[in-house]
């Protein structure tokens, strides 16, 4: 590097994620569900058999719910505390990325790699959410690191056993996809290294530990709740391949999402990955680069082939993206005549400068925005507060790049992303939270004098309302169930129904109920119904 390296310590980049975790409520689609499952586990339903709104929940293994629930129970169920496992896992993965970089190349890359990882767009977003994938990514990355200690397959028996345990805990976090993430990458490394993926004498211990945590939990859960047998032994595995797809998408969708969500480092790592795939000489002279590219490519191909698509599924490939970005930065330092890499490096700060300048002029749209969202008053000043530092830092990164100071460029680009994320957290999320979180309507529900044994939710997910209100909201309700509840004069009545579904209720039911409150939650207008 041209100086002693980036002066921005990578742990400081956790601040935007901590802000994101602290300034907003639980946002659909996943957070209310995960929070309520964790709460019910810690408040009496038990740790073996998970429950959601009183019903058995078999969709995912329990590790993240246990961890999030422990943090929530200790803090009175604060949203930020429930998100701490994701934040800790993200920081742990950044540390592992640094260790991978130092093993493959040296200290310069080890300094840059966590800086790049913690400013990848998807990493910043997921690190501040209640989500399974940050924990899955950390444990899979730890399994890969330990299982290939010293850069060789099976270098140390104890480390291999520790790697097997990490993989077993990863499966306890999200199921068999952990084994796919690990096995595909290890197999790709064996292919590019032209050697068998042997795990030395500890291989059978590795396999046992990789299976034991989730197998022990599943066995105990099925013994406690026999209804789980079909779910855990069939529906959650083979059954998913034949069931209706929740998140379909074309094969090229993961590549487009990876390119967008690995900003601001996308141009750099894509150029280096392309060169590595194209040139046998590059692959031969840099084993670390071979492995990083194989890591990204094999997971990208896998998640492109499967029918179900979500951008978060590819999060376990993002450590390799950070490694490629760090290696590209050090190559720019070593070869000042590499114009392709330098032009690629200029793309992100130029875009961020433009974004910052555009945010500065948000006041032009203020009247139209306020008409639709009265709570957006002051958005023009918020735009200035967000846009000015982003534009200034982006321009500063461009100037550092032009003068050949790659370390200053990397620091300022990472700082630009951190400032952008902080600005979004402090200035934008509070505006969006009013619409995204179910908390406002849940508080109104909690204040109602009616005390029904259950509150049917028709077209509405019940978990956020139960988490915030403590009321017995139940999902999967039908129009017929709402009609029966309204007609039962012996029982108090409350219901949550979307405005679109309200028109589907029988005419007699619509005449018998009234709308006590109407609120926009996400993209839906939700009605709180009471009996006339």
In contact, 332 and 341? CB cutoff 8 Å = yes
Provide mean pLDDT across the span 58-63.
Answer: 92
Class of 439-531 in CATH:
alpha beta
Residues of the chain with CATH 3.40.190: 439-531
Considering Cα of 220, then 222, then 228, then 229, what sign does the dihedral take? positive
pLDDT digits (tens, 9 = 90+) for 309-340: 889 999 999 999 999 999 999 999 887 778 89
Identify the pLDDT of residue 479. Answer: 84
Tell me the average pLDDT across 407-418.
Answer: 94
pLDDT of 45 strictly over 80: no
Share of the chain above pLDDT 70, in %: 90
pLDDT for residue 2: 42
| pLDDT > 60? residue 1 | no
Bridge partners for 36 per DSSP: none
25 φ, ψ (degrees, to nearest 5): -80, -165
Least confident segment among 210-224, 365-379, 395-409, 422-436: 365-379
pLDDT band at 197 (very low <50, low <70, confident <90, very high): low
Q: Is the pLDDT of residue 370 over 50?
A: no
For the segment 133-162, what is each residue's pLDDT rounded down to a tens digit? 999 999 999 999 998 875 555 557 788 889
**Average pLDDT over the chain, rounded to an integer:** 88
35 Cβ contact partners less than 8 Å away, ≥ 6 residues apart:
26, 68, 72, 77, 79, 82, 130, 463, 467
- Residue 147, SS3 per DSSP: helix
Mean pLDDT (whole number) for 263-287? 91
Q: Check residue 3 and give its pLDDT.
A: 42
**What is the C-alpha to C-alpha distance for residues 222 and 393, in angstroms, rounded to an integer?**
55
Q: How confident is the model at residue 160, as a pLDDT?
A: 85
Which is more confidently placed, 244 or 532?
532
Residue 367: pLDDT band with limits 50, 70, 90: low
Give the span between the Cα atoms of 464 and 474, in whole angstroms. Answer: 11
Which pTM value belongs to this model? 0.92
Confidence band (pLDDT; 50, 70, 90) for 4? very low
The per-residue pLDDT for 321 is 98
Comparison of pLDDT for 268 and 479, the residue scoring more: 268
pLDDT number for residue 236: 65
pLDDT digits (tens, 9 = 90+) for 202-234: 778 889 999 999 999 999 999 999 988 888 876
Task: For residue 9, give every residue at least 6 positions away whose Cβ sits within 8 Å of its Cβ, in sequence order, or none.
Answer: none
Confidence of residue 292 (pLDDT cuts 50, 70, 90): very high
Average pLDDT over residues 44-54: 90
Asked if residue 394 lies in contact with residue 345, where contact means CB atoms within 8 angstroms, the answer is no
The half-sphere exposure of 285 on its side-chain side, counting CA atoms within 13 A, is 6
User: Residues 467-498: pLDDT tens digits?
Assistant: 999 999 998 878 888 999 888 888 999 999 99
**What residues form DSSP beta bridges with 514?**
530
- With 70 as the cut, is the pLDDT of residue 349 above it? yes
- H/E stretch holding 357 reads helix 339-360
How would residue 397 be classed by pLDDT, with cut points 50, 70 and 90?
A: very high
Give yes or no for a contact between 456 and 485, defined as CB atoms under 8 angstroms apart.
yes
97-108 pLDDT, tens digit each:
999 999 999 999
pLDDT confidence of residue 239? 53
User: How does strand 51-52 pair with strand 55-56?
Assistant: antiparallel
pLDDT tens by residue, 505-529: 989 888 999 999 999 998 889 999 9
Give the residue-averaged pLDDT of 5-12. 71
Q: Are 24 and 435 in contact (CB under 8 A)?
A: no
147-175 burial: b if 16+ Cβ within 10 Å, else e: bbbeeebbebbebbbbbbbbbbbbbbbbb
Higher-pLDDT residue of 163 and 201 is: 163
């Amino acid at each position: 590097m041209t100086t002693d390296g980036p002066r921005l310590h990578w742990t400081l980049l956790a601040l935007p994620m901590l802000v994101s975790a602290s300034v907003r409520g639980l946002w659909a689609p996943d957070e209310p569900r995960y929070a309520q499952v964790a709460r019910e586990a810690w408040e009496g339903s038990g740790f073996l058999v998970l429950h959601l709104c009183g019903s058995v929940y078999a969709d995912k293994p329990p590790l993240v719910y246990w961890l999030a629930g422990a943090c929530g129970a200790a803090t009175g169920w604060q949203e930020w505390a429930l998100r701490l496992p994701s934040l800790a896992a993200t920081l742990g993965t950044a540390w592992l990325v640094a260790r991978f970089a130092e093993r493959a190349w040296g200290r310069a890359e080890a300094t840059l790699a966590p800086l790049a990882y913690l400013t990848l767009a998807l990493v910043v977003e997921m690190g501040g959410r209640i989500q399974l994938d940050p924990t899955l990514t950390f444990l899979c990355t730890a399994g890969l690191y330990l299982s290939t200690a010293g850069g060789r397959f099976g270098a140390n028996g104890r480390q291999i056993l520790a790697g097997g345990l990490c993989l077993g805990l990863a499966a306890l976090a999200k199921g068999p996809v952990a084994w796919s993430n690990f096995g595909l990458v290890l197999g790709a490394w064996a292919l590019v290294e032209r050697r068998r993926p042997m795990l030395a004498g500890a291989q059978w211990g590795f396999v046992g530990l990789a299976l034991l945590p989730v197998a022990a939990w599943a066995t105990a859960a099925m013994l406690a709740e026999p209804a789980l047998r079909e779910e855990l032994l069939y529906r959650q595995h083979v059954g998913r391949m034949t069931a209706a797809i929740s998140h379909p998408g074309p094969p090229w969708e993961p590549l487009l999402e990876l390119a967008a969500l690995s900003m601001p480092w996308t141009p750099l790592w894509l150029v280096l990955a392309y060169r590595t795939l194209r040139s046998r000489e590059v692959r031969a002279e840099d084993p670390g680069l071979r492995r990083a590219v194989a890591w990204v490519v094999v997971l990208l191909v896998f998640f492109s082939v499967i029918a179900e698509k979500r951008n978060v599924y590819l999060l376990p490939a993002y450590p390799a993206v950070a490694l490629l970005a760090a290696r590209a930065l050090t190559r720019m330092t070593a070869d000042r005549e590499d114009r392709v890499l330098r032009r690629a490096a200029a793309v992100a700060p130029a875009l961020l400068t433009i974004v910052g300048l555009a945010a500065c002029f948000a006041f032009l749209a203020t009247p139209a925005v306020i008409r639709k969202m009265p709570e957006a008053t002051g958005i023009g000043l918020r735009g200035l507060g967000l846009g000015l530092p982003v534009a200034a830092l982006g321009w500063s990164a461009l100037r550092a790049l032009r003068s050949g100071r790659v370390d200053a460029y990397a620091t300022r680009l990472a700082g630009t992303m951190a400032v952008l994320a902080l600005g979004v957290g402090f200035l934008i999320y509070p505006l969006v939270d009013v619409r995204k979180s179910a908390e406002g309507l849940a508080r109104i529900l909690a204040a109602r004098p009616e005390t029904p044994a259950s509150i049917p939710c028709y077209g509405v997910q019940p978990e956020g309302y139960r988490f915030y209100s403590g009321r017995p909201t139940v999902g999967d309700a039908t129009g017929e169930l709402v009609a029966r509840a309204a007609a039962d004069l012996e029982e108090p009545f409350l219901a949550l129904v979307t405005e679109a579904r309200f028109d589907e209720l029988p005419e007699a039911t619509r005449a018998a109920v009234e709308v006590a409150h109407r609120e926009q939650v996400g993209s839906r207008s939700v009605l709180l119904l009471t009996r006339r």
